[in-house]
A and B are shown apart, each in its own frame.
Chain A
Amino acid sequence: MSIGPYHYLGLAAALFAIGVIGVVTRRNAIGVLIGVELMLNAANINLVAFSRFSGGLDAQIFAIFVIVIAAAEAAVALAIILQLFEKRSDVDVDRARTLRG
C-alpha cells in the first residue's frame, strides 16, 4: 500500500478532531492549551503534505511560521494561565466566567 495524500489528510483530520474535542471538553486550562497545540499541528501536517504532493516549498514555509507562532502562543497562554492561578488558585476555565453577559 503506497502512502498517498489521503492518508495524510485523514491523519490531520483525526488529530484536529482530537484537538477540538480536547478544547471543548477539558476544564483544565493546560488541557485546553494542549488541544489548541494539537489543532495547530494538524494544520501543519496538512501544509507539509500539500507541499510534498504539489511540489512547491511555499507551504513548508507557512508551516515553519505556524510553529513559531505556536511557540509564541504557548508562551502567552502559559503566562495567562499562571496569572489565572495567582488570582483564583485553580485553572478551571468553567469557573473563570467574568465575561458572562
Chain B
Amino acid sequence: MQVDLPSYVPWIIFAPAIAALIQHFRGEKLPRKGDLVVIGGILVSAFLSFRLMFEWAALEPGQYFEQTWSWFTLAGGHTFTMGIVVDGLTASLLCVVTLVATLVFCFSTAYMKGDEYYHRFFFWLSFFAVSMLILTLADNLLMLFMGWELVGLCSYKLIGFWSKEIPNAEAAKKAFITTRVGDVGMLIGMLILYATCDSLSIKAIFEGVQAGKFAGSETALTWAGIGIFFGAVGKSAQFPLQIWLPDAMAGPTPVSALIHAATMVAAGVYLTARMFPIFTPDALGFIAWTGGITALLAALVAFTQTDIKKVLAYSTVSQLGYMIMGVGVGAPWAGMFHLTTHAMFKACLFLGSGSVIHAMHHAQDLKDMGGLAKKMPITFATFSIATLALAGAPFFSGFLSKDAILIEAWENGHGALFFIGLGAAFGTAFYMGRLVYLCFLGKPRNQEKYDHAHESPWVMTVPLIILAALSLSVFYDGFADKFYRTPAYAAEFPITETNTHAYWTTGQRPDDFHEGHGPSWFHTVAMLMGVIGLGVGGAIFMSGKRNEKTRLLPSGLHDLAAGKYYMDELYLDGFVASANRLADGCTWVDDNIVDGLVNTSGKGGLVLGVVSADADQLVVDGAVNLTAAATQGAGAVASTAQSGRVRNYLAAALGVTAVAVVLLVFVIG
C-alpha cells in the first residue's frame, strides 16, 4: 500500500547535484580541487538513503513510499508525471549506489592524485551519482529513461577520461554507441506500452496490463517486454551487446568499480526486475536464455585474459548474465539479491585491482605481477575475501545469491539453464583462482616492479576493508525476503495470466529456498564447485611451469574465447563496414544523381529564363506598345473633331438635332 514520501527524499538527488554544480563552476579554484565538496554531497545522499532504507524497513510488508508531481501536458491532454517510488528494490539499490559511490570517491582522491583534470573527474563522478539516483528513484519510464541516458553520458565521459590516447576515446565511443543500440529497443518497448496504456507511469502500465489492454495482442506485450529488456541488454552488457564492457576498462579503475561493476551496469537488472510483471512467458524465456548464454560465454573468455581488469570485466559480464537469468526464470528477487551482493564484492575486487595497479605504477598486465601478497597484505586479504564471495564459497554473500538463482532455475523447470549456470559457477571460481594466484602468489615475474611495489594509503585500503566486510554472508540473513519479495504495486496489481510464477500474485513464494529445495545434491555440489574451482585454478600454477599465457582451454575453444567469439570483427565487418558501404553508395548517389538532377534543373531554369525574357520583350512588351500606339492613333483621329471653333460644335449639334427631328417626324411618327 502506498505511503506518503518523507519530505527529505528529493535531497538524496539534490545534494550531489548541488555538489556537481559547485564542482563544475568553482571546482578548480577550491582547496584540494573540490573533492571534499563532492564527497560531502554524496555523504549527505548516503546518510539520507540509509535513513530512508530504515524508514522503509519499518513499514508493513507490501507498503511503499510514493509521490508524484505533474510534469507537463501534451496537446490532446496527455499528462506526464514525475515521481519517486521507494520500495525494497529502490531502497536497497539506493544504499548500494550511495555507499559504493562514497567509498569510490574516497578511493579516487588517492588513485587520481596529481591528475591534470582531477576536478573534472570529480565533477563527472558526482554527476554520475545524480543520474544514477534519478534512475533509481523514478516511478515512471520517462524519468527512468532520462537517468538511463545520463548515466550513459557519464559512462562515456569517464571511460574516455584519458582521451588523449586514441584507444581510450575509441573505447568510450564504442561503449556509447553499443548501449545506444539497446536503448533504441528500450524506446520501442516504451512506445508500445505508451500507445496501449496511454501513460509511462509504471503503476499505470501495470494497471493497463492487468485491465487487459493487451488482451488479444499478447504478441505486442511480448515485444514490448523484449524491447524494454533490450535496453538492459545494452546497459548490462548482455549477449550480443556485451562487447563494450571489457573495452570500458580503458577508464580509470575507480570508474570501473563504480560504474562498470557495481551500479550502472546493474541498472539493466533493476529495470528488468522493476518491469517484471509485464513480461510474458515468451519474453521471460528470451530473457533467461540471454542471461544464461552470457554467463557461460563471458566466463570462458575470462580464462584467456592476461589483463587484471579485463578478467574482472568478463567476470562482471558473466555475473550480470546470472542476474538477468535469475529475473528470466521468474525470480526477480534472486536477480536483485545477486545484484546487491555482487555490487559489494565486485567493487571490492575492482578497487583491489586499482590498488595493485596503483602500486605497480599503472602496469595492469599479469605478466608484471606475482607474489604481491607480501608487499600488499591488506589488498591481498580483501581481494581474497571478495574472490571467495564471487566464487560462491560458504559464509560469503555470493553463496546465498548465486545459489538462489540456480535453485530458482531448477524449481521453475529450466533444467538446461541450471546446468549452464552450474558450469559458469565452476568457471568463475576457476578463473578467479587463476587471477589471485598469478597476481598475489608464486614468484614475482617482474622483479623491478615488484621491488617498487608498496601497500596503498589508508584512503584506498579503508574502502577495501569496508567492502570486503560487506561480502560476508552474515549481513544478508533474511535480506532477500525482506527487500525483494514484495515490491511496489505487487499487491495492487497481481498480474497472473501473463506470468509463470505465483510470486507477484501473493507477494510470497510458497516455499523457502533454504529448506531443501532444488536437487538434494545441490548445495554440496555448489559448494564443491566453488572451493574446488578456486583450488584447482590456483594449484595448476604452483609447479611454476605455467604462467598467464598458458592455454587452459582446448585449443580451438581457447582461440575462439581469446578472440571474444570474433564478435568485434563481426560487428566491424558486418554492420560498420556495411554502414560505410551504404554511406559510400549514398555519396555516389548524391554526387551523381541528386547533384545531376539539381544541376540539370538549374540549367533548365536558366534556359527557361532566357526564353521567357525574349517572350517578354517580343510578345508582352509588343502587345503593350501596340495598344498604346493604337490608342494614340485613335486619339489623333478623334482630336480633329475638337477644332476649337465653337461654331463647328454648334453646327454639329444642330445637324444632329435636325436629323433627329426628321427621324422623329417622318420615320417613327
Q: Which residues of A contact B (CB under 8 A)?
A: 20, 23-25, 32, 93-94, 96-101
Contacts and interface: CB of A to CB of B under 8 A. Distances in A.
B650 A99 contact: no
Interface string B618-651: 0000000000000000000011111111110011
A39 B640 CA distance: 29
A97 B647 contact: no
A94 B645 contact: yes
B647 A24 contact: yes
7 contacts: A20-B654, A24-B647, A93-B645, A93-B646, A100-B642, A100-B644, A101-B640
A35 B239 CA distance: 125
A93 B646 CA distance: 8
Interface of B: 638-647, 650-651, 654
Contacts of B654: 20, 24
A93 B650 CA distance: 13
Contacts of B646: 93, 99
A74 B615 CA distance: 64
B642 A99 contact: yes
Contact of A97 (B640, B641, B644): B644
A16 to B, nearest CB: 11
A98 B647 contact: no
Given A93-B646, A94-B645, A101 B639 contact: yes
Nearest to A32: B647
Contacts of A101: 638-644
Contacts of A25: 647
A97 B650 contact: no
Contacts of A32: 647
Given A93-B647, A100-B643, 10 more contacts: A20-B654, A23-B650, A93-B645, A94-B647, A97-B644, A97-B645, A99-B642, A101-B639, A101-B640, A101-B643
Contacts of A24: 647, 650-651, 654
A97 B647 CA distance: 11
A97 B651 contact: no
Contacts of A93: 645-647
Contacts of A99: 642, 644, 646
B638 to A, nearest CB: 8
A27 B173 CA distance: 111
A96 B644 CA distance: 8
Contacts of B642: 99-101
B169 to A, nearest CB: 92
Contact of B644 (A20, A23, A98): A98
Contacts of A23: 647, 650
Contacts of B639: 101
B472 to A, nearest CB: 123
B478 to A, nearest CB: 121
B421 to A, nearest CB: 116
Nearest to A36: B650
Nearest to A29: B646
A76 B262 CA distance: 120
A93 B648 CA distance: 11
A90 B654 CA distance: 27
Contacts of B650: 23-24
A98 B642 CA distance: 11
B637 to A, nearest CB: 11
Nearest to B636: A101
Contacts of B638: 101
Nearest to B649: A99
A23 B651 CA distance: 9
A1 to B, nearest CB: 27
Nearest to B642: A101
A100 B647 CA distance: 12
Max chain B Cβ within 10 angstroms of own Cβ: one of A93, A96, A101 = A101
Nearest to A99: B644
B661 to A, nearest CB: 12
Please list the 7 inter-chain residue pairs (A to B) with the smallest Cβ-Cβ separation, ordered nearest first.
A101-B642, A100-B644, A97-B644, A101-B639, A99-B644, A24-B651, A24-B647
A56 B191 CA distance: 106
Max chain A Cβ within 10 angstroms of own Cβ: one of B638, B645, B651, B654 = B645
Contacts of B643: 97, 100-101
Nearest to B635: A101
A94 B649 CA distance: 12
Nearest to B648: A24
A96 B647 CA distance: 11
A25 B647 CA distance: 8
A23 B642 CA distance: 18
B579 to A, nearest CB: 85
Contacts of B647: 23-25, 32, 93-94
A88 to B, nearest CB: 14
Nearest to B643: A100
A97 B640 CA distance: 13
A67 to B, nearest CB: 23
Contacts of A94: 645, 647
